[in-house]
Chain A
Amino acid sequence: MIGGALSWLRARGRGGNAEAAQEVRRWILAVYAKETLEVIRDRRTLLVMIVLPALLMPMVILGISYLAQRQQQQIQTVVPRVAVVGQAPALIHLAYASKLIAPVRAKDPTAALRQRQVLAVVEIPKNFETIVARNGQAHVGILYDATDSESAAARGKVVDLLSRYSQEIVAARLAARHINPRDLLPVVLDQHNVATQRQQSGQLLASLLPFLLAMWAVVGGMSVAVDLAAGEKERGTLESLLITPPSREAIVLGKFLSVVTASMGGVIVVLLAMMVSLRWGYPYMLHTTQKVNISLPIGTAIVMLGVALLFSALVSAVQLAISIYARSPREAQQYITPLYFVTVLPGLAVQFVSDWARSPWAYLTPVLNAFFSFQELLLGTVNWGHLFLAAVSCAFYAALALEVAIALMSREGVIFRV
Chain B
Amino acid sequence: MTDHEVLVEAENLEKRFRRYHAVRGVSFRCYAGEVFGLLGPNGAGKTTTIRMLTTVLRPTAGVARIAGHDVVHEAGTVRRLIGVLPENAGIYGRLTARDVIRYAGRLYGVPPDLLRSRLASIAEALELTAHLDRLTDTFSKGMKQKVNIARALIHNPPVVFLDEPTSGLDVISARSVRDFIERFKQEGRCVIMSTHVMEEAERLCDRVAIVAGGRIRAEGRLTDLQARTGLGLEEIFVQLVEQTVA
Contact = CB atoms under 8 A, between A and B. Distances in A.
Interface of A: 23, 26-27, 30-31, 34, 37-38, 41-42, 232, 234-237, 239-247, 412-413, 415-416
Nearest to A227: B94
The dominant DSSP class at the A interface is helix
B49 interface: no
Given A37-B99, A235-B91, A240-B148, A245 B108 contact: yes
A416 B57 contact: yes
B92 A237 contact: yes
Contact of A240 (B57, B94, B151): B151
Interface in B39-80: 51, 54-58, 76, 79-80
A34 B84 contact: no
A243 B106 contact: no
Contacts of B55: 243
Nearest to A232: B90
Interface residues of B, number: 32
Given A26-B109, A237-B91, A243-B82, 14 more contacts: A30-B107, A31-B107, A34-B103, A41-B94, A232-B90, A236-B89, A240-B86, A240-B89, A243-B54, A244-B108, A245-B80, A247-B76, A412-B58, A416-B57
A30 B108 CA distance: 10
Contacts of B148: 240
A246 B57 contact: no
B57 A243 contact: no
A41 B94 CA distance: 6
B95 interface: yes
B103 A30 contact: yes
B227 to A, nearest CB: 37
Interface of B: 18, 51, 54-58, 76, 79-80, 82, 84, 86, 88-95, 99, 103-104, 106-109, 135, 148, 151-152
Contacts of A241: 107
B106 to A, nearest CB: 4
A412 B17 CA distance: 10
A241 B90 CA distance: 11
B90 A26 contact: no
A245 B76 contact: yes
Given A26-B109, A30-B103, A34-B99, A242 B91 contact: no
21 contacts: A30-B106, A30-B107, A34-B103, A37-B99, A38-B92, A38-B95, A234-B90, A235-B91, A236-B88, A236-B90, A237-B90, A240-B86, A240-B148, A241-B107, A243-B56, A243-B82, A244-B107, A245-B80, A247-B76, A412-B57, A412-B58
Contacts of B54: 243
Contacts of A242: 56
B79 A26 contact: no
B40 to A, nearest CB: 19
A31 B103 CA distance: 8
B95 A41 contact: yes
Contacts of A415: 56
A20 B70 CA distance: 21
B52 to A, nearest CB: 10
Given A34-B95, A240-B151, A246 B86 contact: no
Contacts of A31: 107
A177 to B, nearest CB: 91
A241 B56 CA distance: 10
Nearest to A41: B94
A232 B100 CA distance: 14
